[in-house]
Structure 1
């Protein structure tokens, strides 16, 4: 399997399609793994379930994480990622519609790298995703 650059964790089909379109429009969609709930995201990261044969040394460069997810919610996914030495260095960007102060505070307490509220306007959203991709995939220097 090719190296995955972005793990996109999103359960809303419309938001998923918008995000993928925005990534494509900015030429950063070729190495995206989609997880439609928190359980699939964790299985992917830790090489469990349907991803049991995946080489977990190939970590995504960034996780784009919605908070409102079925099975395992986004805050729990974030807590597990940041608590495990194998995954804690992976940058996690919360990309959500939630403007709740409690979600923002808890996300940062758990170690999120960035918290972005999804713009409603598609062009603004495309621009936000472009900036996200440019920063996390090209400019950010992760630990080796």
Structure 2
């Protein structure tokens, strides 16, 4: 099996809903882009993963982050704010993937420098279609920033 991408994409999904995690996994497994999906269930663990603290000391740097807004412990907006304030991490694209359709959440997410805002469809098939469309766009069309040498 030949792969145009020599290494698989590293994705971080920050999501506390097990059903949405399962659907996202399904969508990526059925997709064409080789990827490694890392999942953390709350904002505090997301920040530990990104800063490589504690149990995440050996975590890879994600190529892309899928971030729910409504998270336990540390909320998605706080994660986004901290991430985009950090010169080491701010270049990682963050896609807000949330059930919120509230206009103020959309505005706030972009004010905090989210790269995109996707509303999760309620229907599981539509959810999978949304994730696949996102995957195709971000990994086939967009050029992602290279990891900076540390």
Aligned match of 1:75: 77
- 1:39-95 deviations in whole A, cap 9, x for unaligned? 1111111111211244xxx42111000000011100000001111000101000000
The DSSP-based 3-state class of the residue aligned with 1:31 is strand
1:94-109 matches, within 5 Å, as 94-109=96-111
Provide the C-alpha distance between the structure 2 equivalents of 1:36 and 1:80, rounded to a whole number of angstroms.
17
Provide the C-alpha distance between the structure 1 equivalents of 2:90 and 2:30, rounded to a whole number of angstroms.
30
Aligned match of 1:47: 52
Runs ≥4 residues deviating over 4 A: 27-30
**Contact persistence 1:3–1:60 (CA under 8 A):** no
Using the TM superposition, give the Cα deviation of residue 28 of structure 1 relative to its aligned residue in structure 2, in angstroms.
4.4
Larger of the two Rg values belongs to structure: 2
**Contact persistence 2:92–2:145 (CA under 8 A):** no
Using the TM superposition, give the Cα deviation of residue 26 of structure 1 relative to its aligned residue in structure 2, in angstroms.
1.6
**Contact persistence 1:20–1:29 (CA under 8 A):** no
Aligned match of 2:19: 14
- 1:22-51 deviations in whole A, cap 9, x for unaligned? 211224474011011111111111111211
Consecutive unaligned residues in structure 1, runs of 5 or more: none
Match of 1:134 among 128, 133, 136: 136
Aligned match of 1:60: 62
Change (3 A) 1:78 1:133: same
Consecutive unaligned residues in structure 2, runs of 5 or more: 1-6
Using the TM superposition, give the Cα deviation of residue 12 of structure 1 relative to its aligned residue in structure 2, in angstroms.
0.8
Change (3 A) 1:28 1:71: farther
Using the TM superposition, give the Cα deviation of residue 139 of structure 1 relative to its aligned residue in structure 2, in angstroms.
2.4
Provide the C-alpha distance between the structure 1 equivalents of 2:130 and 2:13, rounded to a whole number of angstroms.
15
Q: TM-score, normalised by structure 2?
A: 0.85
